[in-house]
Amino acid sequence: MPEKKVIDARGSFCPGPLMELIGWIKLAGIGDELEVLSTDKGSAADIPEWIRKVGHELIGVTEEAGVWHVTVKKTK
Amino acid sequence: MKILIVGGGMAGTILANNLARRLHGELRSGKVKLTMLSASDKHMYQPGLLYLALGRMTPDELYRDQAGLLEPGIAFFVDPVEEFQLDQNRVKTKSGTVFDYDILVIATGSRAAPELIPGLAENSETFYTEESAVKMFRKLQAFQGGRVVIAMGVPHKCPMAPLEITFMLHDYFKDRGIRDKVQLHYTYPIGRVHTLENVAKWAAPEFERLGITSETLFNIKEVDGAAKVVKSEEGSEAPYDLLISIPAHRGMEVIEKNKLGAGGWIPTHRHQLTMEGRKNVYVIGDTTNLPISKAGSTAHFEAEALGENIAAIVKLGSPVRDYDGKVFCFIEAGKDRATYAMFDYQNPPDPKAPTKAVHWFKMAYNKLYWVSARGLL
């Protein structure tokens, strides 16, 4: 059964939101969705770029009160 | 009140000593009992492994007897926990002993896990254990030239280590007079050469100046030892003659076995350092799932904040401060220059140009660490 996990990377300068996602996506199952919360607007671009490059699925990017929500699905 | 600390690494040791000082009277009167359980009777200064791999420290310099680092009044047992029975406020150890507690602190740390990547353990040199660092030193000594690739998994302990080993290798080969026979090729998992933007802005031109090539968006998928090629999740390949890896890390197996957190990382409140869903269980050091560096300084600052809070709980009935995400990392920029990055949840780092003075301070800290572990610095 696919699960949904929230990665709270707000205020994370190091390792940073994308590195957090890379670490956690390895622990996820295929079909799981991971929602990254980030206060770095760069996450809205660099997470989708990496997702496209490795072939996972980008579900969506939204911004709410200075927090970017980037949701991806692990596909392989 | 019974306070139980599980883990005798940097986080657990600094916390124990901090509490022993703050609660000196309560420990003497018997009002408080402070106990530490560890898997080892030795305490390792883990940052020293970087220097060991390059022949700049020796193994004996990395260790002290754990018991000798602890303040009087701390009951210390080499008896690792095997079962966390959190609903009953107790743990069971390898020897079968049951320790109950009013407050539990979990600081079991993390471990490099090269076995997660096919071919990585057999075909790369690394420096996250004494054995592997000594092996890497010998391999470097025998290396006469060729393409050296630096590659890493995520997450990894000490996020500055990839840059440090690269800059230090540059000077190592230069000192041996073979830098012109060595191609240093640095790879990194995200789209710049370091996750800290300001550090990346400094490091990228340094690489260019020193003739170090780099490739970003490179996450190790597998290593083909026969072909001497590292393959990335992103589809690229990096041929090597010598592969230096910073393996992905995992929390300790006991955490996963007890289902306290996926990957061995325990869900932790970012300010209070409580385990999610538990009021009397705290997590510090690498064991947390917090989105901050897995580094000694993180463990140190968390331990100080938690020491103040646990002492306040004993004396006032409630904690008095939040952990603010503070981290301080030295960055060796070669054999004789260094800078540093300091940041917290709110403020990004602003590293300055490397200097010899910061390098020598780092050299001094390699010795001062033992004062730090005792909770004095």
How far apart are the C-alpha atoms of A17 and A47, rounded to whole Å? 8
Q: What do you get for the CA distance between the two ends of chain B, in Å? A: 27
The model's pLDDT over B72-128, given as tens digits with 9 standing for 90+, comes to 999 999 999 999 999 999 999 999 999 999 999 999 999 999 999 999 999 999 999
Quick one: pLDDT at residue A35?
98
A41 inside 8 A of chain B by CB: no
Q: What letter represents residue A67's amino acid?
A: V
Question: What domains, with CATH codes, occur in chain B?
Answer: 2-109+252-327 (3.50.50.60), 141-249 (3.50.50.60)
pLDDT value of residue A48: 97
> How many whole angstroms separate alpha carbon B32 and alpha carbon A15?
37
Helix or strand run (H / E) with residue B237: strand B237-239
User: What is the C-alpha separation between B253 and B129, in angstroms, rounded?
Assistant: 17
Residue B17: which H helix or E strand, with range? helix B10-22
Cα angle at B100 between B96 and B102, to 5 degrees? 160
What is the DSSP secondary structure assignment for residue B125, as one 8-state letter? Answer: B
Compute how many other C-beta atoms are within 10 angstroms of the C-beta atom of residue B228.
17
Q: Are the Cβ atoms of A10 and B345 closer than 8 angstroms? A: yes
Q: What is the pLDDT of residues B223-248, one digit of tens each?
A: 999 999 999 999 999 999 999 999 99
Task: Assess A54–B contact: CB distance below 8 Å, yes or no.
Answer: yes
At residue B161 the predicted structure's pLDDT band, cuts being 50, 70 and 90, is very high
Distant-in-sequence, close-in-space partners of B65: CB < 8 Å, separation ≥ 6: B41, B42, B43
d(CA B308, CA B320): 7
Nearest to A5 by CA among A13, A19, A21, B297: A21
Supply the range of the domain harboring residue A19: 4-73
Domain count, chain A: 1
CB B70 within 8 A of CB B76: yes
- Per-residue pLDDT band at B206 (split at 50, 70, 90): very high
Q: 3-class secondary structure for B240-298? A: CCEEEEECCEEECHHHHHCCCCHHHCECECCCCCEECCCCCEEECHHHECCCCCCCHHH
- Disruptive mutation site among B110, B154, B201 for chain A (greatest number of A CBs within 10 Å): B154
A 10-39 near B (Cβ less than 8 A): 10-20, 22-24, 26-27
Q: What CATH number corresponds to the domain at position A61?
A: 3.30.110.40
Residue B266 φ then ψ, to 5°: -90, 125
Token pair recorded at residue B96? 């079968």
Output b/e per residue, B124-135; b: 16+ Cβ within 10 A: bbbbbebebbbe
**Residue B366: band (very low, low, confident or very high) from pLDDT cuts 50, 70, 90:** very high
> What count of CB pairs under 8 Å joins A to B?
82
Taking 90 as the threshold, does the pLDDT of residue B42 lie above it? yes
What residue type is B292 in one-letter code? I
Q: Is the pLDDT of residue B200 over 90?
A: yes
Reported as a single tens digit per residue, the pLDDT across B265-312 is 999 999 999 999 999 999 999 999 999 999 999 999 999 999 999 999
Q: What's the ipTM?
A: 0.94
